[in-house]
Structure 1
Amino acid sequence: MAIPKKGSRLISVDDITYRWRIRPKPTYSQGLAETALTYAVELEQDPGSVLVVTTDFPRPDNWIVSSGRAVRPTEVADTIRAALRQGWRPDRPSPVMQMSATASRRLASAETSGA
């Protein structure tokens, strides 16, 4: 599965360039604010595995609640670093890796606190 270039953004994390993208329209359950916003990440050059990240907030364009917000590039970068520490190998063909943005924040705070 490759991420389409149209509508995607590039981000450099530790001198490696990745492509990330949020789907242009919400799924039905995202539109109803039943499921959270998700985005996908892969290497820009020679992608292998895709990382799918589930945030802990609804899409800003959902149809029900107004509490959604945008994904910031710093959040994407932090999640990429956490996924790499968890064993994500973006250069190797493998199944999609699922990750929660909440879990990536927990990993980051545990590392900074020395746990």
Structure 2
Amino acid sequence: MALNKKGSRPITVDGIEYRWRIRRKPSYMQGLGWTPMTYAVEAANGSQSGTTLIVTSSQAHASNWVGVEAEPIRPAHVAASIREALGQGWNPTRAGSPFRLDRHAGFITQR
């Protein structure tokens, strides 16, 4: 799975370039505040498709429909997620199914 360049943001972590993107519209579950926001990260070299990192954050989606306060995902958070995923075995240049990183500790479900 490759990220669209449009809407993605570049980030350099330890000398390697990546792109990351948050889905503009929340999913149904995110819109109701039941699940946290996710974002995707991939290596920025466009000639080779590798494994995408899917990060589940501890924040509500900023465009949720029920008024749950949400903190923005900052580049420092993305960089920390990339480093953690690399430490857990994510290889962004090797093809394969998405690598999932769960960082949702502290997320409070809205019911």
Q: How does 1:1-115 map to 2 (within 5 A)?
A: 1-45=1-45, 46-102=48-104
Query: Is the CA contact 2:26–2:64 (under 8 Å) kept in the aligned structure 1?
Result: yes
Equivalent-residue separation in structure 2 for 1:77 and 1:48 (angstroms)? 18
Q: CA deviation at 1:94?
A: 1.1
For structure 1, the residue ranges without an aligned partner over 5 or more in a row are: 104-115
What is the TM-score when the length of structure 1 is the normalising length? 0.85
Q: CA deviation at 1:102?
A: 4.7
Q: CA deviation at 1:72?
A: 0.4
CA RMSD between the two structures: 1.2
Counterpart of 1:28, as a letter, is: Y
Q: CA deviation at 1:65?
A: 3.1
Partner of 2:109: none
Higher percent of residues as helix: 1
Query: Is the CA contact 2:55–2:103 (under 8 Å) kept in the aligned structure 1?
Result: yes
Q: Secondary structure at the match of 2:91?
A: coil
Q: Secondary structure at the match of 1:89?
A: coil
User: Which protein, 1 or 2, shows the higher relative CO under an 8 Å CA cutoff with sep ≥ 6?
Assistant: 2
What is the TM-score when the length of structure 2 is the normalising length? 0.88
For structure 2, the residue ranges without an aligned partner over 5 or more in a row are: 106-111
Q: CA deviation at 1:101?
A: 2.2
Counterpart of 2:38, as a letter, is: T
Q: Secondary structure at the match of 1:52?
A: strand
Give 4+ residue runs of structure 1 displaced > 2 Å after superposition: none
Query: Is the CA contact 2:59–2:104 (under 8 Å) kept in the aligned structure 1?
Result: no
